[in-house]
Amino acid sequence: MATWQPKLIPRKTLGGRRQTQTVDEFGIPTTSAPVLFDIENAGVQPVSGHEMNTMPEGYRDRKMYKVFTTTPVFTAVEGSDNLADKIETVSGVWCDVVRVQAWSYGIQSHYEAYVAQENER
């Protein structure tokens, strides 16, 4: 008698980019060189219409995805030097992290990040 073996959803390793921005004494912003990092155990899903309506107004006209990962990713924080992390999706498109929620329930802690395709304007 064969025993059933569950199959895990295949996870990918995606590319990530993190930058900071500082303002000098004359008010001119300077962006640091990007620091590349790996986003491990990533699963990417499209965002549903209901979830799209909960996003900020400036992001609703872009393609959006949900990324589940064990690697911490960050959004931009107003009043700090940190810019939003960027994630390279499976199709090679760079996306900005819009919203992140940490999940520490279940077997493995992970992060649920909503990402929007970079603005081409």
| Residues 56-82 pLDDT 10s | 888 788 888 999 998 999 998 877 788
Q: Is residue 2 part of a domain?
A: no
Q: Is residue 4 part of a domain?
A: no
100, 109, 112, 114 from 106: Cα distances, Å: 18, 7, 14, 21
Q: Is residue 100 part of a domain?
A: yes
Tell me the CATH number at 85: 2.40.10
pLDDT at 120: 63
pLDDT at 4: 55
* Ranges in the chain, pLDDT < 50: none
Query: What is the number of structural domains in the chain?
Result: 1
pLDDT at 3: 64
Q: Is residue 84 part of a domain?
A: yes
Give the residue numbers spanning the domain of 93.
Answer: 12-117
Q: Are 24 and 95 in contact (CB under 8 A)?
A: no
Global pTM reads: 0.79
What totals of helices (H) and strands (E) does the chain contain, helices first? 1, 8
Q: Is residue 6 part of a domain?
A: no
Q: Is residue 63 part of a domain?
A: yes
